Structures are given as structure tokens and as C-alpha cells.
Structure 1
Amino acid sequence: MGYLLLILGIALWIGGHLFKRLVPAKRAAMGDKGKGLVAVALLAAIVLMVIGYRSAALVTVWVPPSFMIHISNLLVLIGFWFFALSGVAGTMSARVRHKQLTGVKSWAVGHLLVNGDLASILLFGGMLFWAVLSVILINKAEPTWERPANPSVKNDAIAFGVALVLYGIVALIHTWLGYYPFPVGGA
């Protein structure tokens, strides 16, 4: 049952996000009421993914080498940094169009490197698929991009500081849930 809920959650997440890209006229016809409906669908998707992931039977597909933990942690931190960059005009903001989707891709790849079980591959692979597909669809629909004005290295540093704080909070939550994100014994 866990895998079914996980897959339904991923499908609902992807469908909810791509709804306006794939059928823009139908989404526009729904008006503001459609925003609420999509928000409820996305919240339901998160709940389904969490419940499905946590209850899915362990099926090991591959065993990642321990050194991947370091690479994974770096990619997750970079993912948080790109998310933070979406709110400030840093020099990286002026170079990367889809900062939040780039953050999701970095986060997903980082998790795929250290989780070789089927549920993780479905969850993080599904999120990676969604982020890549979203970038393609957005770029196709809106081929031009206006870069942020007045990018600042200072804002890059501020965004990185925000990313470090968020990373620390998420690491604490992972630890609380029983998933210690840092190598033990210098692995």
C-alpha cells in the first residue's frame, strides 16, 4: 500500500504543478478558485508522498558507497542555496533562470546518490523528473527571460547564509526522524 500511496502522491504533485502548463485555458477558466484547488491537491500530494514513503516496504536496489554522503550533503546544501537565491538578486540569480527547480534537481540528485532503496528512487527520481520536465515546458512556453537587475555578490553570500540555516534545520529534523545525514566515524 505504501508504494501505491507514494506513486499517487508523486503523480498528483506532478499533475498539480503541470496543470497550468499543459491545459492553460482550462486552468485560466477556473480563476482564483483554481489556485485553491491546486494548493489543496499539492498539499494532498505531499501527505501521500510522506505516508507512502514512510510505509513502503524496504526493497534495496543498490547499496551506495559511503563517500557519497559527502557529495550528497554538498548537493543538498547547493539546492537550498538556489532556493534562497530565488528571493535575492545575487550574481548566481542572474545566471540561472530556474533557481527553485535547479534547487530541487540538486536536492533530488543528492538524495539519489545515498538512497538505493526503491521508495527513495521513486520519490527523488520522480521529483527530479518533475523539475526537469517543468524547466523544459517553461522554456518552451516562455523562451525569453529577463535577468534580475543589479546582481550582487553580497546577496549571494546572504542567500548562502540562509541556505546554511535551512540546511541545519532540515538536518536536525532528519536526525529527529532517525535519518542522520552526516557520516559517522569519518566515513
Structure 2
Amino acid sequence: MTILVLGLVLFLGIHSLSIVNEPFRDRMVARLGEWPFKGLYALIALVGLIGIVWGYGLARQEPTLLYVPPTWLSHVAMILLLPVFPLLLAAYLPGGIQRKLKRPMLVAVKLWALAHLLANGMLHDVLLFGGFLAWAVADRISLKRRQPRSLPSLPASSLNDWVAVLVGLAIYGAFITGGHYWLIGVEPVAF
């Protein structure tokens, strides 16, 4: 469990620089330069992500049960997960979805995390998905007091919404028909 927690601290910690101390982040960019800062940021995030994946795998070998969700919640989770991939794509394909939601990636992370919390009751699940949900909520709240940075994206177009939805739903379909099991080792819905 320690590796999972350390991975979460590194990954979510580096992604929280703007949430907790935007001036510090800006000073580091000015001191190091934009690309060296981004490289250091990416390295810390990658180490954190590796820790999350490795630690989660280790924690699954010795699970600690916190609660037993009813089976029907896995079906609710599947519905909540339906827009996740389209929203992730809409973050980089500006159109009406991005304009309406402002930060569709944060909405996607919140839906993904909440869905998994509803369907899973092990300690490692609560740490992972609860951590991401808390981070996404904190980031969204912090956007009210700070100027959001622009994300690299394509030119705005209503076609982008169609691409985000269709490709996102195709990815969702791939995940529920074997991709989740192949990547994670768990069938997404228990019947």
C-alpha cells in the first residue's frame, strides 16, 4: 500500500502545483525555463504513475475490504463511465462540449473516479479513486481563483464534438468488451 500512496502523492502532488501555489509554479518556470520545467514535471508525474500502477497491483494481492457495494451499482458505474472517453477527447478537440463544460477532462476524471468508488469497496480502490476524485474537485474549485492555462488543441470546430463522441464511445466499447480485462485484469461488470 505504501508504494500506491507514494505514487499518488507524486502524481497528484505535481498535478496540484497550480492548485496550492500558482506563484511558486510560475517562479519555477521562470527559474528553470518552460521546457526544463515541463520535463521535470513529466518525470515526476511518470514516476508517480509507475508507483500508482505498481502499488495498485501489489495492493490487489492483499486486499482490505472497506465496504461491499451492491451488484447493481456496477451497472450505475457503467452508465457514469459512458461519457468519460468522449469528455477526455473533447479536452483536446475544442467544440461545443469544451465550450459548455470549460474543462471536460476534469469532468471525465470525476465521473471515472466516482463510478469506480461506487463499484469497488477495497481500501486500495478508495485510495486510488478517492484520491483522483478529491484532486479533480479541488482543481475545479481552484480554477475559480486562478487563470487557467490553455491546453494544446486543434482549432475549434463542431466536427470535433462528433469526433470526440464517436471515437470516445468506440474506446468505451473496446474497454467493456475486453480492454478493461486485458489492461486491469478485472471484468468491468459482474452479472
Q: TM-score range by the shorter chain?
A: 0.7 to 0.9
Change beyond 3 A, Cα 1:134–1:164: same
Q: Which residue of 2 aligns with 1:137?
A: 142
The residue identity in structure 1 corresponding to 2:80 is L
In the alignment, the residues of structure 2 paired with residue 97 and residue 70 of structure 1 have an alpha-carbon distance, to the nearest angstrom, of 28
Match of 1:113 among 104, 114, 118: 118
Give the Å deviation of 1:151. Answer: 6.1
**Contact 1:93/1:151, CA 8 A, preserved across alignment:** no
Q: What pairs up with 1:19-168 in 2 under 5 angstroms?
A: 19-21=17-19, 22=21, 23-28=24-29, 29-31=31-33, 32-56=35-59, 57-142=62-147, 152=158, 155-168=160-173
Preserved CA contact (<8 Å) 1:19 1:27: no
Q: Distance in 2 between matches of 1:132 and 1:30?
A: 29
8 A Cα contact 2:85 2:108, kept in partner: yes
Contact 1:72/1:113 (CA < 8 Å) preserved in 2?
yes
Gaps of 5+ in 2: none
What amino acid is the match of 1:120?
D
Instruction: Measure the CA separation in 2 of the matches of 1:150 and 1:13.
Output: 30
| Structure 2 residue aligned with 1:182 | 189
Preserved CA contact (<8 Å) 1:94 1:151: no
Which whole-Å CA distance do the structure 1 matches of 2:104 and 2:32 have between them? 28
Shift of 1:104: 0.5
Q: CA deviation at 1:40?
A: 0.7
Bigger drift between 78-87 and 119-128 goes to 78-87
- Correspondent of 1:10 among 1, 8, 11: 8
- Three-state SS of the structure 2 residue aligned to 1:95 is helix
* Partner Cα distance (2:26, 2:99) in 1: 31
TM-score (ref. length: structure 1) = 0.85
Once residues 28 and 88 of structure 2 are traced to their aligned partners in structure 1, the CA distance between those partners, rounded to angstroms, is 26
TM-aligned CA deviation for residue 150 of structure 1: 6.8
**TM-score between both structures, scaled by the size of structure 2:** 0.84
Q: CA deviation at 1:142?
A: 1.9
Flag as ranges the 4+ runs of structure 1 deviating above 4 A: none
C-alpha contact 2:83 2:169 (8 A) present in aligned 1: no
**Quick check: 1:4–1:52 contact (8 Å CA) kept in 2?**
yes
